[in-house]
């Protein structure tokens, strides 16, 4: 028999579960992530098809619902090829390094309050730590080594470039992500995920720390290598990126790690900014909304809101150039995130003796101003880049030499190739016209 309770978990509630209950919760988290990945792959293809006026998967199963499972079986049955010249140990170990941290990072994500399971009081969370948020950052950073090692061990140029890009990407956007967390730590006075959720009982931190939410939302897209920030696997210039030399289940493991990481960063955004498993208003007016097993539903709905954002961005936005991507991180997100931490520290210290309402209103007003500064910075950066990358006007009457730069260049619109025969062309150094 399973009964519901309404108690908020604390750090003292973890570590006392019997082994079978801990094992059941671990299996439950694993199953939740696998089902999320299968549903995410299908819904991403369905949403993209809907936005692009296409049909999408509709053959395998009712309305194509078994397409993700069919894709997994197809990858499993493909021949696993190992190219010559690879570092075989690291080549085989890299997908494992990418997948394992992706699942482990979800261990500290709270999905509900304390409940009673066969007479045992246990939180709907596998475990928690006094530095739970830093644990997620550390584990996800380890997962990036799988991408870097995959590019290096493949023995090919393009995967190596993808791995190097991933290194620069992590360094750039994890700094901004960590600074966005620092402001929340000042507000909540804790790094424990369960205690951060409990601190949002009266107001969500997205209202008090809007710039942190915006910076984290941008950074989590870059951390997961998703469009428009999927530079480590940009097909147009890297032929597939860091996993070019992988096939069969090894390739599937990289895709699994990507989607699990998407679920993890979405769940972390829900935990830190949207009240975690707590019901939104007006559902929260109901006395039983935040007790029992109902919070799992609110948590899942919030998490899927962020997953939909990933799918929508991939469909709506083109891939950024690498210089645009790095400038966004180093020139806009990191300086503003650092300044926002200072602003939050000053406000929290100055309003220490004021009421909670006064502090909240000042933080909300300052957050709106800093968020506007982020938007203006992004617009200015895009406007400058558009001006710099605009091609010069073409004069149709000017002579066009396709070999002016030392290699053949096709004519731009309005230009025509010179009409001269092969005999009129000068000889090059090797005597070839």
Q: Which residue has the tokens 């059941």?
A: 24
Residues making up the chain, counted from first to last? 433
DSSP 2: E
pLDDT (tens digit, 9 = 90+) per residue, 271-287? Answer: 999 999 999 988 888 88
- Give the pLDDT confidence of 185-217 residue by residue, as tens digits: 999 999 999 999 999 988 899 999 999 999 999
pLDDT tens per residue across span 350-409: 988 888 889 999 999 999 999 999 999 888 877 765 555 555 666 666 677 777 766 677
Place 5 in a pLDDT band, splitting at 50, 70 and 90: very low
Residue 408: both structure tokens together:
């053949």
Segment 126-181, tens digit of pLDDT: 999 999 999 998 998 888 888 889 989 988 888 888 888 888 888 888 899 999 99
Strands 114-117 and 2-4: antiparallel
228 preceded by cis ω (within 30°)? Answer: yes
pLDDT digits 0-9 by tens, 8-50: 888 888 888 899 999 999 999 999 999 999 999 999 999 999 9
Domains of the chain, residue spans: 82-279+290-388
Which residues make Cβ contacts (< 8 Å) with residue 126, sequence separation at least 6? 22, 25, 26, 29, 106, 107, 108
pLDDT for position 404: 72
Q: Which residues contact 104 (CB under 8 A, 6 or more apart)?
A: 139
Strand partners, 114: 123
Q: Is 381 exposed, middle or buried (0-12, 13-18, 19+ CB in 10 A)?
A: middle
Kindly state the percentage of the chain with pLDDT values over 90: 48
**Cis preceding-peptide flag for 282 (omega within 30 of 0):** yes
pTM of the entire predicted model: 0.85
């Amino acid at each position: 028999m399973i009964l519901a309770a309404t108690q908020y978990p604390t750090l003292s509630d973890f570590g006392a579960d019997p082994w079978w209950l801990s094992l059941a919760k671990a299996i439950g988290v694993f199953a939740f992530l696998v089902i999320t990945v299968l549903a995410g792959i299908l819904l991403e293809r369905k949403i993209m098809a809907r936005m692009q006026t296409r049909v999408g998967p509709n053959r395998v199963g009712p309305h194509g619902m078994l397409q993700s499972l069919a894709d997994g079986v197809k990858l499993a049955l493909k021949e696993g090829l190992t190219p010559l010249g690879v570092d075989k140990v690291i080549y085989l170990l890299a997908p494992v390094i990418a997948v394992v941290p992706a699942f482990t990072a979800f261990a500290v994500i709270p999905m509900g309050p304390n409940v009673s399971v066969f007479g045992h009081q246990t939180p709907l969370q596998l475990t928690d730590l006094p530095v739970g948020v830093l644990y997620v950052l550390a584990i996800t950073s380890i997962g990036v080594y799988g991408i870097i090692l995959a590019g290096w061990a493949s023995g090919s140029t393009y995967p190596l470039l993808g791995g190097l890009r991933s290194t620069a990407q992590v360094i750039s956007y994890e700094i901004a992500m960590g600074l966005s967390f620092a402001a929340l730590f000042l507000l909540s006075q804790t790094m424990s995920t369960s205690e951060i959720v409990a601190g949002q009982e009266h107001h969500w931190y997205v209202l008090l720390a809007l710039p942190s939410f915006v910076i984290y939302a941008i950074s989590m897209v870059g951390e997961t290598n998703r469009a428009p920030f999927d530079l480590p696997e940009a097909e147009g210039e890297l032929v597939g990126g860091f996993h070019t030399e992988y096939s069969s289940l090894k390739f599937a493991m990289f895709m699994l790690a990507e989607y699990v990481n998407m679920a993890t960063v979405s769940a972390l955004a829900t935990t830190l900014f949207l009240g975690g498993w707590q019901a939104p208003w007006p559902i929260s007016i109901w006395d039983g909304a935040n007790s029992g097993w109902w919070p799992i539903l609110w948590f899942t709905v919030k998490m899927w809101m962020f997953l939909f954002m990933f799918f929508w961005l991939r469909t709506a936005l083109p891939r950024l150039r690498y210089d645009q991507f790095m400038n966004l991180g180093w020139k806009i997100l990191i300086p503003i995130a650092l300044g926002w931490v200072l602003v939050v520290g000053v406000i929290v210290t100055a309003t220490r003796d004021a009421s909670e309402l006064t502090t909240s209103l000042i933080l909300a007003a300052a957050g709106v101003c800093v968020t506007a500064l982020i938007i203006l910075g992004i617009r200015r950066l895009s406007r400058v880049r558009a001006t710099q990358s605009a091609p010069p006007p073409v004069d149709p009457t000017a002579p066009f030499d396709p070999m002016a730069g030392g290699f053949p260049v096709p004519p731009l619109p309005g230009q025509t190739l010179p009409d001269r025969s092969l005999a009129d062309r000068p000889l090059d150094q090797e005597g070839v016209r």
